[in-house]
C-alpha cells in the first residue's frame, strides 16, 4: 500500500461499494437472508469505509478513525456478513426492516464519525517543526529491559499464580500476593506492551541487521508467551504492533510483516485454538500443568489443529468472527434495558473521576462492572462471568437513546482530538506512536469492553507518557520543512533554507 492508492480513493470507494452490494445481494438471496439484514450490513460497511474518502496518507489524522471503523464493522456485522457469504444453521427471528439494535449501531457509527471529523479538524494546525524524539539506542535498551521485566511478570501471573483462566482463579492469585504484591505484578505485565512498542519503534527508525534479528526474536517469544498463557491476543500483539508502527513511521505497510501477520492467522491460529480445545478441554490440564509438559502439549495442539477448525460450533472454541461478535449482546440488552431491567443512570462510570487514586490509598473506591451486571441480570450467566456489551451498549444501558445521541459523538470527538493533536503528517516520534497505540488499545480494541477501565487506563498512560517525554525526548536538530518554498532550490541560492 502507498499514498498512490489514496489518489483514487473515491473511485475505489464506489467500486467496492457496488461490488459489495451485488455480492451481498446475491449471497442473501442464495442463503435466505432477510433483505433488512443484508441492507443493514451493507449500510454499516459504507459508514465504516467512509473515512477512506478523507484520508490523504496512511499515517494522517483520519487513520485512527479507519482502524476504529474496521473493527466496529467486524464486531457488529461480521456474523451477518459471514451468514450472507456461507449461510447459517438457524437464522435469528426478526420483524421489520431493521431491529432496534441495528438502528442503534448504524446511528452510533454515524455520530461517532461526525464527532471525530469535527474534532480532528478543530484540533489546531500541526506545527511544521520536527517533533522532539528519543535517542534510538536508548529506546532500544529501555524497551528491551521493560519488555523482559513485563514478560516475566506476565508469565508469573498467568502461569504460576493464576493457573486457570477464570475470574475466580485471578482473584485468588491477586489475593495471595497482597495489595502491594498485586500492584507490582500488575504494573509489571502492564508495562510489557510499552517495551514491545519501544522495540518496534527503534526497529522502524533504524532497521539494522541487529535490530531486525532482535525484533523477530522478540515477536517469536511473544507468540510463545501467548501460547503458554492461552492468550491469542498476546501472541498476536508483537506482529500487530510492529506492523502498525511501520505504517506510522514509513506511511506505508510492510509487505513482509503483513505477510507474517496473515500467515499467523492462517497457520498458527488453529494451533492456539487446538490448545484450548484439546489441552485445557479434553486433557483437562491447567496452565501450570501444560507448561510443565510443554513438549507434549505442542505435539497434541499441532496434531489437533485441523480438528479444531472442523469441529461443530458447540464443540470447538469460537472463531475470530464468532468471538468478536457483539451485535447479539446489543440485541439482548435493548430487549431488557428499560423494560424489565432498570437503566443504570451512570452507575458504571462513577470511578472515572478517581482515575489517579490507587486502590491502595482508597480500598473502598466504588466500581461497577457493566459486563458483570449484564451477565447476572440479563444473560443469567453467573456472577463470575463477564459478557461484553461494548461502550455502545453501556451508553445505552446507562442513559437510553440519549446516551447514544450524546455519548457516541463525544467518543468520536475524543478520538479525533487525539488523532489531530498527535498525528504523523509532519514527522513521527516515539511519544506520538505511544499515544496513538495506547489509544488504539484502550479506545479502539477495548471498545468492546467497559468504558470506565478504558478511560482510566488511558489517562494514567497519558500521564506516564508525558513524564517519559519530558525526561527522554530531545529536540530534533534537522531544519523544519518550509512548505511555501519549492522542493528543489536553484544552485545559485544554496542557502535559502535556514
Model confidence pLDDT, tens digit, residues 281-304:
666 677 777 777 777 777 777 776
Please give the pLDDT value at position 479: 44
Backbone angles phi, psi at 341, to 5 degrees: -130, 130
Separation between Cα atoms, residue 385 and residue 397, nearest integer Å = 18
What local confidence, expressed as pLDDT, does residue 330 receive?
97
Residue 359 has pLDDT above 80, yes or no: no
Average pLDDT over residues 361-374: 80
Is the pLDDT at 373 greater than 50, yes or no? yes
Q: How far, in Å, CA of 236 to CA of 196, rounded?
A: 12
Cell numbers 439484514 correspond to what residue? 37
Average pLDDT for the chain: 84
The CA–CA distances, whole Å, from 293 to 60, 279, 284, 299 equal: 47, 10, 13, 10
The CA distances from residue 329 to 6, 181, 323, 379, 448, in Å, are: 36, 36, 12, 9, 11
pLDDT of res. 427: 81
Measure CA of the first residue to CA of the last residue in the chain; give whole Å.
34
> How far is residue 301's CA from residue 290's CA, in Å, rounded to a whole number?
11
Q: Give the torsion sign (CA, 322, 323, 327, 330).
A: positive
Q: Span 231-251, mean pLDDT?
A: 89
Q: What is the pTM of this model?
A: 0.83
Question: How far is the C-alpha of 355 from the C-alpha of 483, rounded, in Å?
Answer: 42
Helix, strand, coil distribution of the chain in percent, nearest 5: 70, 0, 30
- For 219-229, the pLDDT digits (tens) are 999 999 988 88
Q: Which of the pair, 265 or 238, is modelled with greater confidence?
A: 238
Task: Give the pLDDT mean for 236-257.
Answer: 90
Stronger pLDDT, 465 or 277, i.e. the higher one: 465
Least confident of 42-46, 117-121, 344-348, 493-497: 493-497
Most confidently modeled of 55-59, 183-187, 273-277? 55-59
Percent of the chain with pLDDT over 70: 85
Show the beta-strand stretches assigned E in 353-495: none
pLDDT higher than threshold 50 for residue 488: no
The pLDDT value recorded for residue 487 is 38
DSSP β-bridge partners for residue 474: 133
Which of 191-195, 218-222, 491-495 is predicted with the least confidence, judged by mean pLDDT? 491-495
Confidence of residue 280 (pLDDT cuts 50, 70, 90): low
Residue 127 banded pLDDT, cuts 50, 70, 90? low
What mean pLDDT do residues 50-79 have? 93
Average pLDDT over residues 255-283: 80
Burial 381-394 (b: 16+ CB within 10 A, else e): eeeeebbbbbbbbb
Per-residue model confidence (pLDDT) at position 18? 97
How many Cβ atoms from other residues are within 10 Å of residue 319's Cβ?
Answer: 17
What angle in degrees, to the nearest 10, is found between the helix axes of 232-250 and 255-263?
Answer: 170
- The confidence score (pLDDT) of residue 171 equals 72
| Mean pLDDT calculated for residue range 39-65 | 93
Cα separation, 309 vs 317, in Å, equals 9
Look at 34 and 165; give whichever has higher pLDDT.
Answer: 34
Joined grid coordinates for residue 116: 471525530
Which is nearest to 442 in space by CA: 423, 465, 468?
465
**pLDDT > 90? residue 267:** no
Amino acid at each position: 500500500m502507498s499514498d498512490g492508492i489514496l489518489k483514487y480513493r473515491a473511485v475505489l470507494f464506489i467500486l467496492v461499494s457496488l461490488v459489495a452490494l451485488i455480492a451481498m445481494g446475491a449471497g442473501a438471496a442464495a442463503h435466505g437472508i432477510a433483505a433488512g439484514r443484508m441492507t443493514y450490513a451493507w449500510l454499516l460497511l459504507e459508514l465504516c469505509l467512509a473515512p477512506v474518502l478523507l484520508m490523504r496518507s496512511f499515517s494522517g489524522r483520519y487513520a485512527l478513525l479507519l482502524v476504529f471503523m474496521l473493527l466496529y464493522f467486524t464486531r457488529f456485522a461480521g456474523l451477518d456478513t459471514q451468514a450472507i457469504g456461507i449461510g447459517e444453521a438457524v437464522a435469528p427471528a426478526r420483524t421489520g426492516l431493521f431491529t432496534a439494535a441495528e438502528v442503534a449501531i448504524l446511528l452510533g457509527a454515524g455520530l461517532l464519525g461526525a464527532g471525530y471529523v469535527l474534532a480532528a479538524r478543530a484540533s489546531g494546525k500541526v506545527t511544521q517543526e520536527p517533533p522532539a524524539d528519543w535517542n534510538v539506542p536508548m529506546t532500544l535498551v529501555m524497551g528491551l529491559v521493560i519488555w523482559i521485566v513485563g514478560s516475566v511478570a506476565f508469565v508469573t501471573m498467568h502461569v504460576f499464580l493464576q493457573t486457570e483462566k477464570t475470574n475466580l482463579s485471578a482473584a485468588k492469585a491477586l489475593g495471595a500476593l497482597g495489595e502491594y504484591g498485586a500492584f507490582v505484578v500488575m504494573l509489571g505485565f502492564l508495562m510489557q506492551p510499552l517495551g514491545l512498542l519501544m522495540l518496534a519503534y527503534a526497529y522502524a527508525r533504524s532497521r539494522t541487521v541487529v535490530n531486525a534479528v532482535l525484533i523477530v526474536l522478540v515477536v517469536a517469544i511473544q507468540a510463545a508467551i501467548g501460547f503458554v498463557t492461552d492468550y491469542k491476543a498476546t501472541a498476536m500483539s508483537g506482529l500487530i504492533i510492529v506492523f502498525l508502527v511501520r505504517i506510522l513511521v514509513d506511511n506505508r505497510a510492510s509487505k513482509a510483516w503483513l505477510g507474517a501477520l496473515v500467515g499467523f492467522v492462517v497457520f498458527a491460529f488453529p494451533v492456539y485454538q487446538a490448545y484450548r480445545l484439546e489441552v485445557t478441554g479434553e486433557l483437562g490440564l491447567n496452565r501450570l500443568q501444560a507448561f510443565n509438559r510443554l513438549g507434549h502439549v505442542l505435539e497434541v495442539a499441532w496434531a489437533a489443529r485441523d480438528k479444531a477448525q472442523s469441529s461443530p460450533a458447540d464443540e470447538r472454541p469460537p472463531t475470530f468472527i464468532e468471538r468478536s461478535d457483539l451485535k447479539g449482546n446489543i440485541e439482548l440488552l435493548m430487549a431488557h434495558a428499560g423494560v424489565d431491567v432498570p437503566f443504570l443512570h451512570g452507575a458504571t462510570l462513577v470511578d472515572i473521576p478517581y482515575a489517579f487514586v490507587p486502590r491502595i490509598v482508597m480500598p473502598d473506591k466504588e466500581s461497577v462492572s457493566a459486563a458483570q451486571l449484564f451477565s447476572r441480570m440479563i444473560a443469567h450467566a453467573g456472577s463470575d462471568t463477564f459478557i461484553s456489551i461494548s461502550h455502545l451498549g453501556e451508553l445505552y444501558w446507562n442513559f437510553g437513546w440519549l446516551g447514544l445521541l450524546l455519548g457516541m459523538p463525544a467518543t468520536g470527538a475524543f478520538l479525533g482530538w487525539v488523532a489531530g493533536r498527535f498525528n504523523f503528517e509532519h514527522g513521527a516520534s516515539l511519544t506520538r506512536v505511544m499515544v496513538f497505540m495506547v489509544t488504539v488499545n484502550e479506545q479502539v480494541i477495548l471498545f468492546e469492553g467497559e468504558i470506565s477501565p478504558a478511560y482510566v487506563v488511558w489517562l494514567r498512560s497519558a500521564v506516564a507518557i508525558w513524564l517519559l517525554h519530558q525526561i527522554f525526548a530531545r529536540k530534533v536538530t534537522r531544519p523544519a520543512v518550509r512548505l511555501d518554498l519549492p522542493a528543489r532550490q536553484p544552485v545559485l541560492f544554496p542557502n535559502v533554507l535556514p
